[in-house]
Amino acid sequence: MTFTYTWANAEKTQLQRDDGWFIPAVDDNAMYAEFLNSGATAADYVVPPAPPEPTLDEKLASIGLSLDDLKEALK
């Protein structure tokens, strides 16, 4: 079976295989040896985008408040 590989981190210490397996890039790992012996190459690591900034409502909800609670507290 042929797999597609992507580096899972910028340090290139772990591969991700297209079937979901994460493979440590260490000499005594059989799956890493399989990758090396297959002649396959790994796609470069891509930094995931930063999550969006939470809204005010989300920030308040994370501490158990609502906007109405905040307004009431500031009266």
Question: Mind listing the pLDDT tens digit for each residue in 13-68?
Answer: 999 999 999 999 999 999 999 999 999 999 999 999 999 999 999 999 999 988 89
Q: Which pLDDT score is estimated for 14?
A: 98
**In terms of pTM, does the model score above 0.85?**
no
- In angstroms, what CA-CA distances link 65 with 25, 41, 49, 61? 46, 50, 28, 5
Q: Which pLDDT score is estimated for 73?
A: 87
Structural domain that includes position 56:
5-44+51-73
Q: How confident is the model over 17-26, as pLDDT tens digits?
A: 999 999 999 9
Distance CA 44, CA 32 (A): 16
- Predicted confidence band of residue 75 (pLDDT cuts 50, 70, 90): confident
Beta carbons within 8 Å of 9's beta carbon, 6+ residues apart: 45
The CB-side HSE value for 32 (13 A sphere, CA atoms) comes to 13
Q: How many domains does the chain have?
A: 1
